[in-house]
Structure formats: C-alpha cells, structure tokens
Amino acid sequence: MAKITSRHKIAKSFGSASDSYDISARLQRYCGKHLMPWLPNRNDLTVLDLGSGTGFFTEILASRYQQVIGLDISKNMLKFAQENRHQAISWLEADAYKIPLQNNSVDFVYSNLMIQWCDPLNLVLDEVMRVLKPGGLFVFSTLVEGTLFELKSSWAQVDDDQHVVDFKPEQHIRSFLDGVDRKLLNAKQQDIILEYENVLHLAHELKSLGANHVPNKKSKGLAGKDKWQKMTTSYQDFIEPNNIYPATYKVFSGLVVKLSD
C-alpha cells in the first residue's frame, strides 16, 4: 500500500517552497535539459508532465506539443503554475498513484526529478503504463543512492539519526522498468556536483526545493547548535579550493516505451 501520509507531507514541503522553487531549482533545470534529446519529434501529441511543480518545463513542453497536462500533488505549486504559465496548459491536482486520466490516452509522459519521492515506485510506474498509449514513451530523471553523500557522511560523525533522505539504488529502479508491458530503451547515470558557499547555503537550497523532508528521522525539529557546528566542521573535509562546498547529486535518467498488447 502506498504511503499516503508521507506523500502529503512531501506535498506540503514542496507547496511551501513554491515561490522560491524556480530561483533555487538549479538541479531541476540541469536534469530537465538533459532529458530534451529523448523527447519525441512529432508535435501532434498529448503529453503529461508528472510532478509538474511550478510548470517551468510544462511550459517548454507546451511550446512543442499539441495538448499538455501538468499534474502535481501540491495545490500551491499548481496555483503558482496557473498564474505564471501558458494559458493553454491543463492543470490537475492529483496523486501519481491515481492519475485521473483514461487508459491509453497519453502519447508521452515526462517526469523530471519526481519519482524519487514515490514509494512504492512500481505502483506509480504501473499507473504511467496504464495511461500511456501502446508505443507511448515515459521519459524521467530521478535521484538515486549516493546523492548528498557529503552531507550524509558529515551528519554520521555527529549522531545516528537520519538527517538525509535515503534514495533507492539505481538497480532497484531498473528492476521495474522492463516487463511484459514496458521496455527500457535508454538510460544514463551521472553525478551532478553543485557548489555552495557554505553548508547553510546547501540547507537553504534543499529547503527551498522542498527536499528537506526526511521520513525516518527520529528527533523532530532542527538539530541543536552544537550538533550543527560539529556537522559543518566534518563537512570541511570535502571543501574544494576557494572554500567551495560541493554537494553531489546522483541522477538516473531513462527512456521507457509501453509495448503493444
């Protein structure tokens, strides 16, 4: 059964970040651009942006395709998108586990850095396959195990609580991408290293992205000043020249086709 409570907490985290999201979304922009070569060339398509957020890439899709639908679980993200994006886009407030579209009704599903929040993932992928037409494509990017290892390692020097999200291994995701109704056509994994002025800059960006929700955290609220200081001291082991703080994001991207019956 899908973790409904956790998903709504995540929706709340992202919703509260809607105004700052576009400013801080360096990672989303980078990954979204890298998905562009896999987009279909035909423009007479019905497209679903699954986890559309503020609609930045939904609007790019709308400039290329006939009918574009942006779906997100966050009411605030959708409100921002409706007020700031192209009028021709249709917006849906819905859960990826229950997409309110008919079977075999979509030519192409695009999802940029969203499915890492879906657990169990296989149920979401089944929904994607349900709404896709035979021969339709699913293009996605997601974060995998090893993401933010610098931050995780630094917190491990402080206590045994969970301060950083545990993302699934790439192999775990791959195991759901080939089946009787689907085939993984192309895939790539890349390390994206973003640079920060300090650890606080990183923490603010994670919060402004809504990515600061840690499901298995034991202690609630912020870490104490002493713990934070100890963690930032440990993070200095990773500092690059010119006092730049790196953070590594391991991104797995894929192109999946729905097979004909």
Q: Say how many C-beta atoms besides its own lie within 10 A of residue 36's C-beta.
A: 11
CATH number at residue 134: 3.40.50.150
pLDDT, position 171: 96
pLDDT, position 229: 92
Task: Establish if 92 belongs to a structural domain.
Answer: yes
Task: Establish if 85 belongs to a structural domain.
Answer: yes
Pairwise CA distance, residues 200 & 4, whole Å:
31
Of 4-13, 76-85, 228-237, the poorest mean pLDDT is in 4-13
1-26 burial by CB neighbour count: b if 16+ within 10 A, else e?
ebeeeebeebbbbbbbbbebbbebbe
Its pTM stands at 0.86
Nearest to 114 by CA among 141, 94, 75, 83: 141
Task: Establish if 180 belongs to a structural domain.
Answer: yes
Task: Establish if 143 belongs to a structural domain.
Answer: yes
Give residue 97's domain range: 4-147+165-193+248-258
pLDDT, position 127: 97
Give the tens place of pLDDT for each residue, 3-25: 433 444 444 444 444 444 444 57
Torsion 76-81-87-93 (CA) sign:
negative
Task: Establish if 215 belongs to a structural domain.
Answer: no
Q: Which residue has the higher pLDDT, 2 or 160?
A: 160
State the chain's mean pLDDT as an integer. Answer: 86
Give the tens place of pLDDT for each residue, 24-60: 578 888 999 899 999 999 999 999 999 998 899 999 9
Looking at the structure of the chain, the number of domains it has is: 1
